[in-house]
Amino acid sequence: MNKPMLKTRLKYIAPIVLVGIFLDQLTKVWAVSALKGGPRYSFLADTLRIAYAENIGAFLGLGNNLPPQLRFWIFTALVGLFLMGLLVYLFIGKDVDTISLVALSLVFAGGFSNFIDRAMNEGAVVDFLNVGFGGLRTGIFNVADMYIMAGAALIIAGHWFVSKKSN
């Protein structure tokens, strides 16, 4: 895989990050204004549920029961440091190919948008989406979480594709 130069990296990173943050924040503003304190909605034979929630923990509420100061240090301060490091790596990392650049930009966009929530919403992230069939359901999530999961899936798929191609 080709290693992109700085100008090329910026052409990938900027639109992914800006669009990701914009879409996530826009949907969260909508969720707060339209869903907070309101009813839950169900679509596609209850496959998609839309309801307002605030998550003070991590993925699937992990860490919800931690003391507030510890949650701040883990989910805001440490995540903020991780995101700064990831952004630096995106721009100057020597082992970043195009697939990794796109994948890690997706992870950064989602992580940074959720970081904005934590910083502006007393450590909570706005969630409002849930999918599933019957009792088999996902946790409640948001657009930023979809970006993070898409980036993680692309990292795995990209690694698999590159290893298959080299064999």
pLDDT tens digit string along 127-162?
A: 999 999 988 999 999 999 999 999 999 999 987 776
Phi first, then psi: give them for residue 49, nearest 5 degrees.
Answer: -120, 140
Q: Is residue 51 part of a domain?
A: yes
Look at residue 166 in the predicted model and tell me its pLDDT: 64
- Rounded Cα–Cα distance for residues 18 and 23 (Å): 9
Could you tell me if residue 69 is inside a domain? yes
In a domain, 1, yes or no: no
What is the tally of structural domains in the chain?
1
Quote the pLDDT of residue 106.
98
Q: Which residues contact 44 (CB under 8 A, 6 or more apart)?
A: none
User: Taking the mean position of all CA atoms in its chain, how far away is CA 103?
Assistant: 11
Domain annotation covers residue 54: yes
pTM across the whole model:
0.91
Q: Which residues of the chain have pLDDT under 70?
A: 1-2, 162-167
Range of the domain at 82: 6-166
Residues with a known catalytic role? 127, 145
Question: Is residue 147, in this structure, part of any structural domain at all?
Answer: yes
pLDDT at 164 (0 to 100)? 66
